[in-house]
């Protein structure tokens, strides 16, 4: 299972980095990709990003109040929705309520980044794993 972690801004980046470390500990089949960690210095970042967006199974969009309208996050979310056949794109709401998220991101079922919501993201991952295994 390939998980793309999208972020924009310091807080979103820190949460994304924590998810990148945590997910493989919870799901042994999880391979996470995050631009800040996985693009080598000197690499052509745009081609690396495009390659990852093409082969990803699942996307997590780390959303904060400061980045809900970030053009970059919207671009990545759109690319993920287009390339992930089952559209497994999960907005991860950092100090946001679902009502704080506007379209186009509001079309995806999000989870809150708290004790109640975080365990729901892996359940979404499990659903995606079953779908991928059936292909």
CB atoms within 10 A of CB 5: 28
- DSSP-based three-state secondary structure for 4: strand
CA atoms within 13 A on the CB side of 96: 23
Look over the chain and give the mean of its residue pLDDT values, rounded to a whole number: 79
Selected residue with higher pLDDT from 37 and 7: 7
Q: Is the pLDDT of residue 64 over 90?
A: yes
Residue 22 C-alpha from the chain's centroid: 13
Name the CATH superfamily housing domain 2-134: Toll/interleukin-1 receptor homology (TIR) domain (3.40.50.10140)
Q: pTM for this one? A: 0.80
* Per-residue confidence band for 39, with pLDDT thresholds at 50, 70 and 90: low
What does the pLDDT read at residue 81? 81
Quick one: pLDDT at residue 122? Answer: 58
Domain ranges of the chain: 2-134
Residue range 73-84: average pLDDT? 79
């Amino acid at each position: 299972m390939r998980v793309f972690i999208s972020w924009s801004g310091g807080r979103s980046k820190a949460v994304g980095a924590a998810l990148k470390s945590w997910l493989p500990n919870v799901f042994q089949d999880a391979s996470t990709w995050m631009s800040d960690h996985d693009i080598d210095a000197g690499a052509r970042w745009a081609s690396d990003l495009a390659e990852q967006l093409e082969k990803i199974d699942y996307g997590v969009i780390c959303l904060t109040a400061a980045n809900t309208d970030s053009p970059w996050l919207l671009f990545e979310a759109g690319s993920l929705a287009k390339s992930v056949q089952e559209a497994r794109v999960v907005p991860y709401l950092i100090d946001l309520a679902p009502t704080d998220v506007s379209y186009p991101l509001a079309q995806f079922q999000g989870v809150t980044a708290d004790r109640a919501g975080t365990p729901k993201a892996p359940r979404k991952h499990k659903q995606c794993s079953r779908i991928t295994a059936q292909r």
